[in-house]
Chains A and B, each alone.
Chain A
Amino acid sequence: MKTFPWKTAVGVVLVGLMLFPVYWMFNVSLTRTGDLRADPPHWFPWNPTFEGYAAAFAQQLPALATSLFIGLGTVALTLVVALPAGFSLARLRPLGARGMDFLLLVAQMIPGVVMAMGFYAIYIRLGMLNTVPGLIVADSTLAVPFGVLLFRAFMASIPGELMAAAQIDGASTWRTFRSIILPLSRNSVITVSLFAFLWAWSDFIFASTLNRNSDVIPITLGIFRYIGNNTTQWNSIMATAVIASIPAAFLLVLAQRYIAAGVTAGAVKD
């Protein structure tokens, strides 16, 4: 393969342009409060300071913990619902499988604000407003339809002979699911878990509607309140933003190929 050094150069410039806002967030997070109003702004953190991070950690640590908990709860709920359903649709041909596909597609079209109003109306009666479980349930609605469709596509590609062999050996359907299908589906489980976690971690609509009067708030709402109350401390706001982005950055590095594969499988359906 021939290499074109100029293409690499162009690629670096494009990445630089695209990631400039991310760099800027990082730059501002390290800027001293006194320099925030500098005109023109400093292009580099000349006198880097960690005061923004100190303030962020002092004030937002509980919110980060809450988001972590909500994210993990959402992943668990999503997998419990979506894994058996994906298996059923891919392998067991239940009645109404085609209708289910259509329903899942439509479910993904419903605007979040509509779901938020529906949940609000239900939660206010059940006393589930401003609770963490309430938010876990609401957040899972983003990932469940996606998860089922992705699992179905993945499990349909597992060779049928493996299942047939297990059944000839006398394994029940549940046993086949647990011992054959689940271990083979590891990559798709990782993909769905990643997305479920990231969507729950970055959810703003449900947090700002179903949890707005709570003391226990997720990090997105923490940042939003921060912006509202604190228009001068943009270094702390940006420091919180950087911290809130760490799970995403971490997951990106760890599982880049799963993410790309997941998007492709979930989006390009036939």
Chain B
Amino acid sequence: MARRAVHAAPRRRSGRWTALAFLAPLVIYLAVFYAYPLYRNIDLSVHDYTPRAFVRGDAEFTGLDNYADILSDDTFVRALRNTAVFTLVSIAAQYALGLALAVFFHRNFRLSAVLRAMFLVPWLLPLIVSASTWSWMLNSDNGIVNAALQAFGIGQINWLTSPGTSLLAVTVANIWLGIPFNLVILYAGLQNIPADLYEAAGLDGANGWQRFWRITFPLLRPVSAITLLLGLIYTLKVVDIIWIMTKGGPADASTTLAIWSYREAFGTGQPDFSPAAAVGNLLILIALAAGLLHVRLQRKEERA
């Protein structure tokens, strides 16, 4: 009886107001620092803003012209393709490597906890640090990667400055950056799988490979889904690593949608905010679509 009274207490009128009072800082924060910048961004994308119009606030309203312009721009197709390649290759490789490592470290052995912790180091470094380190490692003339390849008789490769390899180079760096995150989440998922399932499978004579495909992988599906979704959302918006390593070049070879938007707005001497905002909003739509797709797939799975 007492318990019920306590639980009912927050539903009183005054309780409602208290709840809102505690929530108020967040509501104000979201309105001022999320909603308003987003509104400004949409406003930018439907006007023709020049830096001067920016200060004076008298840009011409152009409707969806900016969107039409970017969709018919040659860069759009390249950027979309590069975004797809960069994102899908990155998350697939991060997931596969993260899962393999999680399974490896799941077995207790001497130093396993310490070694696993060391895998987190790349993830905690500032991106500019990792990106500049990779830039130097992939440097054409003095980079360690080319020096190592030379030992195998492979000649100099201009990783960051040739159109054929720059997207590959930034993707490899991004995969490296994402492994720790995948490892941490998948490892946590593995720990929630009951050990007696493996014991039972062992008694039935299942080998390691069968145990992985019949037990680990299926039971890890919800965790895998959230890992891949977070990876997708994160990778779609990557700017730092690509900008620092290649600036999207050469000749747009590593330009993604996020890089394109960044370059139009801030990357050149002459900011072109309106098309940049249009590209940015397109990116939001893609991320939201991915999020909704994920929710749908999960519901379907729950029903099945």
Q: B-contacting residues of A (Cβ < 8 Å)?
A: 1, 3-5, 7-8, 10-12, 14-15, 18-19, 21-22, 24-25, 28, 36-41, 80-82, 84-85, 87-89, 91-95, 100, 103, 105-122, 124-125, 137, 140-141, 144, 148, 160, 164, 167-168, 173, 177, 198, 201-202, 204-205, 208-209, 212, 219-220, 223-224, 227, 234, 237-238, 241, 244-245, 248-249, 251-252, 256, 259-260, 263-264, 267-269
Contacts and interface: CB of A to CB of B under 8 A. Distances in A.
B20 A19 contact: no
A251 B125 CA distance: 11
Nearest to A221: B128
A8 B277 contact: no
Nearest to B136: A234
A114 B9 contact: no
A149 B174 CA distance: 26
Contact of A95 (B16, B30, B41): B16
Given A11-B109, A227-B132, A113 B10 contact: no
Contacts of B43: 121
Interface of B: 3, 6-7, 9-11, 15-16, 18-20, 22-23, 25-26, 29-30, 33-34, 36-41, 43-44, 54-55, 57, 101, 104-105, 107-112, 115, 117-122, 124-130, 132-137, 141-144, 147, 150, 176, 179, 181, 184-185, 188-189, 223, 226-227, 230, 233, 236-237, 239-240, 243-244, 258, 261-262, 265-266, 273, 276-277, 280-281, 283-284, 287-288, 291
A80 B115 CA distance: 36
B126 A267 contact: no
A14 B101 contact: yes
Contacts of A121: 37, 40-41, 43-44, 54, 273
B266 A208 contact: yes
A202 B128 contact: yes
Contacts of B30: 103, 107
26 contacts: A1-B108, A11-B115, A24-B144, A25-B129, A36-B142, A41-B147, A92-B22, A106-B291, A107-B34, A109-B288, A110-B38, A112-B237, A112-B239, A113-B261, A113-B276, A118-B36, A125-B55, A160-B7, A164-B3, A205-B239, A227-B132, A241-B133, A245-B125, A248-B125, A251-B124, A259-B120
A147 to B, nearest CB: 10
Contact of B119 (A15, A198, A227): A15
A238 B133 contact: yes
Quick one: which of A25, A105, A148 has the most chain B CB within 10 A?
Answer: A25
Contacts of A116: 262, 265-266
Contacts of A87: 22
B262 A113 contact: yes
Contacts of A37: 141-142
Contact of B266 (A5, A168, A212): A212
A15 B118 contact: yes
A93 to B, nearest CB: 6
A3 B152 CA distance: 37
Contacts of A260: 120, 184, 188
B221 to A, nearest CB: 13
